[in-house]
Amino acid sequence: RVRSGTRCGWRREAGKGDVTVATGALRGESLRRARGLVRGGAGSGGERIKARRLLRAPVCRLRSHGARSLPGSGAAAEGGLGQLGVGLANLLRKRFGKDNVILSDIRKPPDHVFHSGPFIYSDILDYKNLREIVVNNRITWVFHYSALLSAVGEANVPLARAVNITGLHNILDVAAEHNLRLFIPSTIGAFGPTSPRNPTPDLCIQRPRTIYGVSKVHAELMGEYYHHRYGLDFRCLRYPGIISADSQPGGGTTDYAVQIFHDATKSGKFECNLKASTRLPMMYIDDCLRATLEVMEAPAERLSMRTYNVNAMSFTPEELAQEVLKHVPEFQITYHVDPVRQAIADSWPMNFDDSNARKDWGWKHDFDLPELVTTMLNFHGSDTRVAQAN
């Protein structure tokens, strides 16, 4: 979420026209819409006073210099303290100004995150609180990242159903009520054993066998229904397994592809919990976050769909290990297959067809397997050298 109050005419009309954006510096049509929203004089005098007090908080200053004022932009979302949310917030703060991005989660942020910009508590299951946050901060865009991923979801189906489905319903209703632009990520896990796997197109049968996949298909269908029925500006990307160096994965089936780099540089040994031949679509986090921003900033008329596959590469643990060996000759991989994760992986796509994203809004990945491995080992390697030096 991004909140901003501008110093120009807007501030003189505090409470009527200040722009609060959920995901960055909004201009033009989004700004007019936000003004319209606020000019509705929503809520009681007390709420407006509270809103003004919030807007006078140090966070709400739109950086007119330096900040790019692209119409629409991304920002960290609900569930922003996971593997992806902090990176998204950093990307947006670089582009739109530190104080214009609000990060939220139900966990306490680590120091470096807490001091990197505004952070608030927000539980996706607390519908009333979500509405208050949107109204008090004049939110117009939201990225909804809260979820339990595939393996942890199978270990706690009731909680996964609550967060991934009831939480989804809450944010959909708030988004429709307040005319928000809403991004919800889906996943390769939204496909199942009866989907075409090599490659998997955007439109095909989706009968996933995990609560995670079922909840994400539900999110895709509900988001598209709200778009067609209520005009909600819903946008969705099916992410592959995302690989990052400076954030831990959240308990999914593709987590091995993150852990291998840490272990390769720390001990030179890695025990893989998937079979050597398990092929899955994967993507480096920088490509993932850029794709997310690009689809959110794409003009609506470019979007022939509201849910797109995005892809970068597909590899097996064996292929990944071979690439690591080019940099770490002493590296050794062993296999101790986790039957739960293996069954999930065997039901997922092997290759992703993302031709619609490339055609409609110009999607293009930057990182292939060699670039990924070099980047990840450089990060961990420097980390190790610093630790050894200390």
Ligand X SMILES: NC(=O)C1=CN([C@@H]2O[C@H](COP(=O)(O)OP(=O)(O)OC[C@H]3O[C@@H](n4cnc5c(N)ncnc54)[C@H](O)[C@@H]3O)[C@@H](O)[C@H]2O)C=CC1
Task: Give me the residues that bind ligand X (CB under 6 A), please.
Answer: 78-79, 81-85, 105-107, 123-125, 145-147, 149, 163, 167, 185, 187, 239, 241-242, 249-250, 252, 254
Place of tokens 């208050």: 132
Do residues 285 and 87 touch, judged by C-beta distance below 8 A?
A: yes
308 is catalytic: no
Interface with ligand AKB (CB under 6 A), residue total 10
Given 127, 145, 212, 308, the catalytic residue: 212
Site string for ligand AKB, 28-67 (x = CB under 6 A): ----------------------------------------
SS3 string, 40-75, reads: CCCCCHHHHHHHHHHHCCCCCCCCCCCCCCCCCCCC
Q: How far apart are CA 107 and CA 373, in angstroms?
A: 31
Q: In terms of CB distance, is 97 or 241 closer to ligand AKB? A: 241
Which one of ligand X, ligand AKB, none interacts with residue 150, CB within 5 to 8 A by kind?
A: ligand AKB
Rounded alpha-carbon distances, angstroms, from residue 87 to 43, 81, 183, 244, 357: 34, 9, 16, 9, 22
Q: How far is the CB of 160 from ligand X (least distance, A)?
A: 10
Q: How far is the CB of 365 from ligand X (least distance, A)?
A: 15
Would you give the DSSP letter of residue 258?
A: H
Q: Is the dihedral of CA 51, 54, 59, 61 positive or negative?
A: positive
Q: How far is the CB of 99 from ligand X (least distance, A)?
A: 22
The answer to whether residue 17 forms part of the interface with ligand AKB (CB under 6 A) is no
Q: How far is the CB of 69 from ligand X (least distance, A)?
A: 27
Q: Which secondary structure element, helix H or strand E, spans residue 161, and what is its range?
A: helix 157-161
The answer to whether residue 241 forms part of the interface with ligand AKB (CB under 6 A) is yes
Q: In terms of CB distance, is 135 or 310 closer to ligand AKB? A: 310
The answer to whether residue 188 forms part of the interface with ligand AKB (CB under 6 A) is yes
The answer to whether residue 140 forms part of the interface with ligand AKB (CB under 6 A) is no
Q: How far is the CB of 27 from ligand AKB (least distance, A)?
A: 33
Q: In terms of CB distance, is 81 or 172 closer to ligand X? A: 81
Q: How far is the CB of 304 from ligand X (least distance, A)?
A: 22
Site string for ligand AKB, 197-236 (x = CB under 6 A): ---------------x------------------------
Would you give the DSSP letter of residue 78?
A: B
Q: In terms of CB distance, is 21 or 242 closer to ligand AKB? A: 242
Q: How far apart are CA 55 and CA 5, in angstroms?
A: 6
Do residues 165 and 24 touch, judged by C-beta distance below 8 A?
A: no
Q: Which parts of the chain are beta strand (E)?
A: 103-105, 119-121, 141-143, 181-183, 186-187, 233-239, 241-243, 269-272, 280-284, 307-309, 313-315, 332-335
Place of tokens 């794409």: 298
Site residues, ligand AKB (CB under 6 A): 149-150, 187-189, 212, 241, 252-254
Residues with a catalytic annotation lie at 212
